[in-house]
Amino acid sequence: MNVTTLPKPPRVGLVSLGCPKALVDSERIMTKLRADGYDMSPDYTGADVVLVNTCGFLDSAKEESLEAIGEAIAENGRVVVTGCMGKDAEVIRARFPQVLAVTGPQQYEEVVAAVHDAAPPVPSPFIDLVPEAGLKLTPRHYSYLKISEGCNHRCAFCIIPHLRGDLVSRRPDAILREAEKLIAAGTKELLVISQDTSAYGVDLRHKAWPWKGTEVRAHMTDLAAAMGELGAWVRLHYVYPYPHVDRIMPMMAAGKVLPYLDIPFQHASPKVLRAMRRPANDAKVLQRIREWRSQVPDLAIRSTFVVGFPGETEEEVAYLLAWLEEAQLDRVGAFKFEPVEGAPATTMDEQVPEDVKQERYDRVMALSTRISAEKLARKVGSTIDVLIDAVDDETGGATGRSKADAPEIDGEVHLRDAGGLEAGDIVSVLVEDSDEHDLYGVPL
């Protein structure tokens, strides 16, 4: 049996100088790098690249910044410079020609790109929250917002808790402040990510923090409600169907949170889910989906499923297919079970042969593609909001996403006659056509 060994993520060292604003910039850059799969290095020697966030406010601060750059070069050698002194790039380059890149203050995208160039991220479908295609820098108009790290569960196919430890949630006020900053910088859509969004704040005992004259608890429902007031699209990923998810539905119905749930069900058969040791393994989940849709008729549910888990028989596959037919999920991704070094499922008996996995995968994908095509066809003739991702000046067309589409993993809306639109615009679109995954339309 082939066992996949996971690559080690690159490590970034950080030297952060200057005022609290510079510190916040550092936090934001590091948050983005963590979301991109980087680890932090507490020292120079363990770092693949060192980021020096400089201060250039006073001459003494500039000198301190230059000294810090010199030290990082001497100790590590692979240095990216950012921050206020980045405005004096020629001074830095004259003294330290070996610096890999110099970017200015608040040039988050450039500095993260420079780190990607210096120490490319190692994508791994087993641990990444963001899909491989999403490892490119996100454009300004949408941003991933990581609310916690690690996980308290111990799913049999997963090594994330082993790699990243138990759940550690960020303070809700810090998350909301970051969200506000992202929105002020042009973000129109916040993509909330974590390993288990529904469990957010469990480790903080759901404590409350002051926020804008009131309080916000470290709890998924409070956080979603507060984010819903910030004026951007709020899309929730990695939600497990715990009972409190029901309390998000009124926020979706009121237009505060996008009518979208990314729930990694992974299977439907109770027997396989038990063997997988999955959380929120609730036999009544179909009933819950029905209730959610009665409150939020346009709710889009995306999910992923694993076929060929050890011990899965034809009976369980038939159960899964019947469940999918009943659940009518909007977006489905399937994976063939792959043994990963260190995961308990890797050494389980009754491993499923590769050709059988492939055949099961094909059946799941054929069914979910048919369901997707049928659901999208029902949208033809309707009017939907579309967030523009890219415009094509040559054809006059544009590509965007509806509220039902997360970037990179879901479908797109292709627009004709979209002259004058820009990435980040949200426009009303008449849907004219559809296929298996995408919609086609014209702005109104």
Q: Which of 161, 270, 333, 339 binds ligand SF4 (CB under 6 A)?
A: 161
Q: Which of 158, 248, 275, 429 binds ligand SF4 (CB under 6 A)?
A: 158
Q: Which of 101, 160, 252, 272 binds ligand SF4 (CB under 6 A)?
A: 160
CB of 256 to ligand SF4, least distance (A): 26
Q: Which of 78, 154, 271, 288 binds ligand SF4 (CB under 6 A)?
A: 154
- Residue 155 as a binder of ligand SF4 (CB under 6 A): the answer is yes
| 439 Ramachandran zone, left/alpha/beta (phi>0; psi -120 to 50) | beta
Give me the residue label for tokens 């889910």. 273
Ranges assigned E (strand) in 299-376 = 300-307, 331-336
- Residue 151 as a binder of ligand SF4 (CB under 6 A): the answer is yes
Each residue 264-283 as x (binds ligand SF4 by CB under 6 A) or -, in order, gives ---------------x----
Q: CB-wise, 112 or 275, nearer to ligand SF4?
A: 275
Q: CB-wise, 182 or 343, nearer to ligand SF4?
A: 343
Closest by Cα among 339, 258, 335, 268 to 304 = 335
Structural contact between residues 145 and 192, judged by C-beta atoms closer than 8 angstroms:
yes
Q: For the stretch 46-65, what's the b/e string if a residue is b when 16 or more beta carbons lie within 10 angstroms of its beta carbon?
A: ebbbbbbbbbbeeeebbebb
CB of 164 to ligand SF4, least distance (A): 8
Q: Which of 195, 198, 303, 402 binds ligand SF4 (CB under 6 A)?
A: 195
**Read out DSSP for 1-53?**
---BPPPPPPEEEEEE-SSHHHHHHHHHHHHHHHHTTPEEESSSTT-SEEEEE
Interface region with ligand SF4, contact rule CB under 6 A, candidates 89-97, 156-164, 183-191, 415-423: 156-164
Give the ranges where 96-196 is alpha helix by DSSP (H): 108-118, 160-164, 172-184
Interface region with ligand SF4, contact rule CB under 6 A, candidates 78-86, 155-163, 385-393, 434-442: 155-163
Give the three-state DSSP class for 162: helix
Q: Which of 178, 196, 405, 410 binds ligand SF4 (CB under 6 A)?
A: 196
- Residue 153 as a binder of ligand SF4 (CB under 6 A): the answer is yes
Interface region with ligand SF4, contact rule CB under 6 A, candidates 22-30, 60-68, 152-160, 324-332: 152-160
Interface region with ligand SF4, contact rule CB under 6 A, candidates 151-159, 319-327, 346-354, 426-434: 151-159
CB of 338 to ligand SF4, least distance (A): 13
Give the three-state DSSP class for 435: coil
- Which tokens belong to 247? 């309390």
Q: For the stretch 134-156, what's the b/e string if a residue is b when 16 or more beta carbons lie within 10 angstroms of its beta carbon?
A: bbeebbebbbbbbbbbbbebebb
Q: CB-wise, 139 or 150, nearer to ligand SF4?
A: 150
Q: How far apart are CA 255 and CA 175, in angstroms?
A: 21
Q: Which residues bind ligand SF4 (CB under 6 A)?
A: 151, 153-155, 158, 160-161, 195-196, 279
